[in-house]
Amino acid sequence: MRGLMSLVVAFSIAGSACVGPAFGAEEKKERTPQQQRMSDCNKTAAQKELKGDDRKQFMKSCLSN
């Protein structure tokens, strides 16, 4: 049982070492103009509480401007 516990602990430590830096040291990437537009349109659609076809129509119009 002790060997199994040691193995579990070892894998836990190894796993955190592998994924830790990927999550902890994320670089802030600048958004492209298209990504920023998508974000802005999504935010506006959410504020207007648009759903379904109304949201699709709004997003199409917003993204094409």
Dig out the tokens for 11 from the structure. 């894998």
pLDDT in tens, 12-32: 555 555 555 555 556 778 999
The yes-or-no verdict on residue 41 having pLDDT over 90 is yes
The yes-or-no verdict on residue 10 having pLDDT over 70 is no
Say what the pTM is.
Answer: 0.55
**Position with higher pLDDT, 6 vs 65:** 65
Gap between the Cα atoms of 19 and 4, Å rounded: 23
